[in-house]
Amino acid sequence: MSEANIFGHQALFEHVYKSAPIGIALVTIEGNWISVNPAACKMFGFTEKELMQQPATDYIYSDNVDSPEKLVQSLSEKVPTVALEKQFMHKDGRRIWTSVHVSLVRDEKDKTPLFFISQMVDITDSKVAEQKLQESIERYTSLKKYNHDAIISFNLQGEIMNGNQMAEQLTGYTIPELAGKRISLLMGEHNLRRVLSDSADYTSAEKSINGIRHKDGHMVEVLATLAPIVIHNKNVGFYIIAKDMTEQKKLIIEKEAAEKTNKAKSEFLAMMSHEIRTPMNGVIGMTDLILDTDLDEEQREYVQIIKKSGTTLLNIINDILDFSKIESGRTELSEETFSLRNTLSETMNLMLPKALEKNIEVTTSVAPDVQDQVYGDMTKLRQVLMNLLSNAVKFTPTGSVSVSVSCIQSIHGSGLIQFSVTDTGIGVPSEKVPQLFEPFYQVDHYMTRQVEGTGLGLAICKKLVELMGGEIWYEPNPKQTGSVFTFTVQLKYPLVAVNEGEENPVQELDDADGNAFKILIVEDNEVNQLVLKKIIEKLGYSSETVPNGLEAVEAYKKYPYDLIFMDIQMPFMDGMEAARIIKQSAPADKRPYVVAVTAHAIKGDREKYLAMGMDEYVSKPVSMQAVSDVIDIFRSTRVNSSTDGSTA
């Protein structure tokens, strides 16, 4: 009977051993294989033979137990099994996690250890899920802990559950102090009722939460966001995420104040430009006209002094306006294709009269590798060159001034062009070099200096050069006393070079009597009326004048003028409105050529007036050359339009 029982136990053990869904391995006390069941082989992807070729101890040892003696010692009647989690390599190369339970089989009589039984369960899926959950918890914890906004959680009873470090800073409470208290302590009872109301839309309720009450009683302005806490598809509470807007509000207020200041500054500059240039137009214009009359030597000298003083004052005004508009960030590049050598030559020609007066030699040198046709802001480049050349001539009592141009880098259709203006003048003391490009700084002290100026020229040069992608610096003349001002600008190369010397021929009008076209002057200032009228007469033309826009419209109805010099700021009707009405009333083929004449001379004014319908722009003080140029442009336009009409 006992043998049958034993046989039955053995059969049962064998059935369980082979059919169990968990892996079972039998290992000797010495750490050798006895047997392994099919479930273990299937779990690791090996055949029984392949699996038993691996170390058997891998399936019974833990990180802390690495010998049979330690394992036996750790297993007793009180501790029948050792449980651990281990990673194994599957045959296909992936790693699997297993829960391993190791037990010790002892002899029933003397309790001698016989062998180990290792039971293994694949827990890879649950382990991966656990790791993902842990990562999610850690991410949430990090997000909450290191978030720059205060985060506070509360349940549907309105009780605070938790919060982050920023919540402590925002409220003045510690999290333990807040836990269990009603969130209405911070956001108000009314807001809490709206959030917790079944009928309320919490996204609209959050808009009413614009402040959090601090522990000391004051309200902190916040931008609040509410987020529901959903567990098992059920809302169990809310997060309130509050951004402290105190600093942002300050920045917004400061930004608005700065914008208002800049706007006021711009308006002030525009007003000053108009108010100062208008009388200057009379001063300089009339001196030009007086100089064109018969004067004795003494009278001519006095008038020239008046003109020189007026020009100096105008230059100072221009410097201040230029620097102000650059500082306010309103200066933009106006790029076009131009001849670099022609621009340099024209600039040098403007400086030659002053240089010849002082018997100063002026030379230029352009390296052969410098491309002539370039694309950039010719006006600003010329302004920088003019300023540096003017300084060089001004501070050079005797000797020479030279300009050299070279290309120091050429890549991807553009070149870094370097200009150096060298003089043999008085130079700059080494201790004063660092301040050279600072605004309103002059090397000579204002009480002892021998030349006039604002001290803005080099500061403007620096700003303009940087705007054109370059830099400017000073060095002493290496050969003798004097200075070297060097600057670079980034200039593009046009895709199609224009041949030098190619010009569009302009057909001249046959105006033998000088009165082939009719000119109207619209100007409210009597002095400026007289100046412009006399300039036009000197150029050989006649004109009529009216004092405002209303009379200009009426005058044009009676007599269709060809060319109108239109002041902008006038009583009753301004120049822009008058020009619009006149052009609308005129036939398309006989619209007059309207020139804006204004004391507004800030960057962008010309483009603004042309965009608003004016045909050309002249700034005050008006010079004879400027008026002559406008008439030439008008004549050329009329020739071209008549030619187009004849060939159409």
Q: d(Cα 219, Cα 226) in Å, to the nearest integer? A: 19
Q: Is the dihedral of CA 276, 281, 286, 289 positive or negative?
A: positive
Helices (H), 432-525: 457-467
Q: What is the pLDDT of residue 4?
A: 47
d(CA 257, CA 561): 48
Q: Is 103 helix (H, G, I), strand (E, B) or coil?
A: strand
Q: Is residue 254 part of a domain?
A: no
**Structure-token pair, residue 443:** 């090397």
Q: Are 561 and 318 in contact (CB under 8 A)?
A: no
Tokens representing 566?
Answer: 């239109």
Q: Which residues contact 600 (CB under 8 A, 6 or more apart)?
A: 270, 273, 274, 568, 619
Q: Domain boundary at 273, 300, 328, which?
A: 328
Instruction: For residues 419 and 477, state if they share a domain.
Output: yes
Which amino acid, one-letter code, is at 639? V
Residue 598 and residue 457 share a domain: no
Task: Please indicate, yes or no, whether residues 488 and 570 belong to a single structural domain of this protein.
Answer: no
Residues 91 and 219 in one domain: no
Distances (CA, A) of 47 to 38, 52, 119: 8, 9, 18
- Whether residues 75 and 135 share a domain: the answer is no
Cβ burial of 3 (10 Å; 0-12, 13-18, 19+) is: exposed
Would you put residue 225 in left (φ > 0), alpha (ψ -120 to 50) or beta? beta
Say yes or no: 342 and 483 in one domain: yes
Q: What is the pTM of this model?
A: 0.39
Residue 454: its pLDDT value, please? 41
Q: Does residue 511 belong to any structural domain of this protein?
A: no
State the CATH number of the domain containing residue 445. 3.30.565.10
- Identity of the amino acid at 586: A
**Does any domain span residue 509?**
no
Q: Of 277, 306, 328, which one is at a domain's C-terminal end? A: 328
Among 579, 610, 565, 514, which Cα is nearest to 285's?
565
Q: Is 484 left (phi over 0), alpha (psi -120 to 50) or beta?
A: beta
Q: What is the 3-state secondary structure (H, E, C) of 244-296?
A: ECHHHHHHHHHHHHHHHHHHHHHHHHHHHHHHHHHHHHHHHHHHHHHHCCCCC
- pLDDT value at position 639? 62
Helix axes 457-467, 297-327, angle to 10 degrees: 50
Q: What is the pLDDT of residue 174?
A: 92
Which of the residues in the chain have pLDDT under 50?
A: 1-4, 6, 441, 443-454, 497-515, 646-648
The verdict on residue 499 lying in a domain is no
Q: pLDDT, tens digit, for every residue of 333-358?
A: 778 888 899 888 888 887 888 888 88
Residue 180, number of CB atoms within 10 A of its CB? 9
Nearest Cα to Cα of residue 602 among 232, 273, 201:
273
In contact, 631 and 643? CB cutoff 8 Å:
no
Q: Identify the DSSP state of 435.
A: G
| Residue 34 domain flag | yes
What CA–CA distance (Å, rounded) separates 403 from 388? 10
Q: What is the DSSP letter of 196?
A: H
Same domain, 143 and 171: yes
Q: CA-based Rg of the chain, rounded to a whole angstrom?
A: 46
Q: Is residue 457 part of a domain?
A: yes
Write b or e for each residue in 202-240: b if 16 or more Cβ atoms lie within 10 A of its Cβ, otherwise e: beebbeebebbbeeeeeebebebbbeeeeeeeeeebbbb
Give the pLDDT score at 601: 58
In angstroms, rounded to a whole number, what is the distance separating the alpha carbons of residues 626 and 129? 83
Question: What would the two tokens of residue 486 be?
Answer: 């060097």
The total domain count for the chain is 5
Same domain membership, residue 186 and residue 147:
yes
Q: Which domain holds residue 18?
A: 9-126
Confirm if 511 and 638 have CB atoms less than 8 A apart. no
> What is the per-residue pLDDT for 446?
35
Same domain, 138 and 215: yes
Q: Note the Cα 478 to chain centre separation in Å.
A: 40
Write the CB contacts of 352 (distance below 8 Å, at least 6 apart in sequence): 362
Closest CA to 281 of 311, 302, 323, 321: 311
57 and 33 inside one domain: yes
Q: Return d(Cα 272, Cα 320) in angstroms, integer.
A: 11
Bridge pairing between strands 95-106 and 211-213: unpaired
Q: Rounded to a whole number, what is the distance in angstroms from the first to the last CA of the chain? A: 130
Helices (H) and strands (E) in the chain, counts: 20, 22
200 and 272 part of one domain: no
CATH code of residue 531: 3.40.50.2300
Q: What span, in angstroms and rounded, lies between the C-alpha atoms of 14 and 36? A: 12
505 inside domain: no
Count of beta carbons in the 10 Å neighbourhood of residue 452: 12
* In a shared domain, residues 436 and 469: yes
Q: What is the DSSP string of 523-568?
A: -S-HHHHHHHHHHHHHTT--EEEESSHHHHHHHHHHS--SEEEEES
Does 501 reside within a domain? Answer: no
- Whether residue 279 is preceded by a cis peptide bond, meaning omega within 30 degrees of 0, is no
Where does a domain end: 216, 247, 278?
Answer: 247
273 φ, ψ (degrees, to nearest 5): -60, -45
- Which pLDDT does position 120 carry in this prediction? 93
CB atoms within 10 A of CB 64: 9
**Contact between 209 and 222 (Cβ < 8 Å):** yes
